[in-house]
A = this chain, B = another copy of it.
Amino acid sequence: MNDINRQFLLAARPSGMVKESDFEYRASPVPEIGDGEVLIRTSHISLDPSMRGQMENRADYVAPLQIGDVMRAGCVGTIVASRNPDFPEGIQVGGTFGMQDYCVSDGRNVPFRVFDADIDPTTALGVLGGTGMTAYFGLLEIGEPKPGDTVVISGAAGATGSVAGQIAKIHGCTVIGMAGSDEKCAWLTDELGFDASINYKTQDIGAELDRLCPNGINIYFDNVGGEILDLCLERIAMNARVVICGGISRYNATGPIPGPKNYFNLVFRRARMEGFIVLDYADRFPEASAVMQRWIDEGKLKQQATVIDGFRELPKALIRLFEGYNTGKLMVKTS
């Protein structure tokens, strides 16, 4: 056990692309726990696009971080000290423990989750973690896939998109994923079983969508926003569902960001565009995890994590996330 608690704090609100200087490293003492509390030693810290929004001073679905706050982050770790009989020492837990080695919890903050000891932490943080849950509830609850549907997923090689696409396949859909390199595109089709993929950096997206979706798009699972959202709205099928999961093209933008000019196609196609926040489904995470674990065991759901080693790499890792470095779930192993 370290005798210090390494932390990254929000040092400055980012303008445009997040920079290393937006973070401040601090070595703090390991916190003490009170009655009913546990001390968690984090082993893996998740990097997620939504972190960018929380660094801004903007009240969204969670309160914005303040300058000097520990960066918020999803983590898995182990309880190393406990004064709470419900959560004994040694168990593996997950939650929003932040960019730090140690975190104190009373087990009541949402989501606080207990994982079996035999679950690999990369699985707990990935397919069974926040991004996996986002894929599960976003696709199934908002997308409502039906067998035979054509499902298009942007940011498809990311942690959420790669899982959402596989869940769509499990539900009998034809799945087309967009990603930013030929390697990622090949991974989608060859490893994950997507029906097709589009390299959005090198291919004519509209022409490829026309070719691959001759009957239009029944579900567009959007992780990126921007021009790709418009190209998909242009091609939605009757009664389509456009699931707004993320908007990574927006997060580091500096100027005003145009909206989807083709939104009016929602009328002509009797379609809907809907957003969601995965935390609303927190009480159903155990149910979803059981289903996802079964799919993993059956070989229907594959996972990949890009694991960067070393706590001090956290700021760089977040920047790399926005640069498209990762395939699958991006996380930092703290030690």
In the complex, A273 has a CB within 8 A of chain B: yes
- Taking CB atoms, residues of chain B closer than 8 Å to A263 are 244, 259-260, 263, 273
Scan residues 252-286 of chain A and give those whose CB is less than 8 A from a CB of chain B: 256-277, 280
Q: How far is the CB of A54 from chain B (nearest CB, A)?
A: 12
Which of A230, A262, A274 is packed against the most chain B CB atoms within 10 Å? A274
Range class of the A interface residue count: 20 to 34
In the complex, A225 has a CB within 8 A of chain B: yes
Instruction: Check if B272 sits within 8 Å of A274, measured CB to CB.
Output: yes
Q: How far is the CB of A265 from chain B (nearest CB, A)?
A: 8
Instruction: Check if B230 sits within 8 Å of A264, measured CB to CB.
Output: no
Instruction: Check if A261 sits within 8 Å of B258, measured CB to CB.
Output: yes
Instruction: Check if A261 sits within 8 Å of B259, measured CB to CB.
Output: yes
- Taking CB atoms, residues of chain B closer than 8 Å to A267 are 61, 244-247, 275-277
Interface string of A282-310 (1 = CB under 8 A from B): 00000000000000000000000000000
Instruction: Check if B270 sits within 8 Å of A277, measured CB to CB.
Output: yes
- Taking CB atoms, residues of chain B closer than 8 Å to A262 are 259
In the complex, A250 has a CB within 8 A of chain B: yes
Question: How many chain copies does the complex carry?
Answer: 2
Instruction: Check if B60 sits within 8 Å of A268, measured CB to CB.
Output: yes
Instruction: Check if B269 sits within 8 Å of A275, measured CB to CB.
Output: yes
CA distance A260 to B271 in the complex (A): 16
Instruction: Check if B271 sits within 8 Å of A272, measured CB to CB.
Output: no
CA distance A262 to B58 in the complex (A): 14
Which of A61, A250, A259, A262 is packed against the most chain B CB atoms within 10 Å? A259
Instruction: Please give me the residue from chain B that is nearest to A267 by CB atom.
Output: B275
- Taking CB atoms, residues of chain B closer than 8 Å to A230 are 259
Q: How far is the CB of A142 from chain B (nearest CB, A)?
A: 8
Instruction: Check if B264 sits within 8 Å of A271, measured CB to CB.
Output: no
Q: Which of B256, B260, B270 interacts with A260 by CB under 8 Å?
A: B260
Instruction: Please give me the residue from chain B that is nearest to A261 by CB atom.
Output: B259
CA distance A247 to B256 in the complex (A): 22
Q: How far is the CB of A218 from chain B (nearest CB, A)?
A: 15
CA distance A230 to B246 in the complex (A): 19
Q: How far is the CB of A151 from chain B (nearest CB, A)?
A: 18
Instruction: Please give me the residue from chain B that is nearest to A265 by CB atom.
Output: B275
CA distance A260 to B280 in the complex (A): 25
- Taking CB atoms, residues of chain B closer than 8 Å to A247 are 264, 267
CA distance A97 to B275 in the complex (A): 41
What are 19 sample pairs from A and B whose C-beta atoms fall under 8 A apart?
A230-B259, A244-B263, A244-B264, A247-B264, A250-B264, A258-B259, A258-B261, A259-B260, A259-B261, A259-B263, A263-B263, A266-B274, A267-B276, A267-B277, A268-B277, A270-B276, A272-B272, A272-B274, A272-B275
* Smallest CB-CB A-B distances: 6 pairs: A267-B275, A259-B259, A266-B275, A272-B274, A259-B261, A259-B260
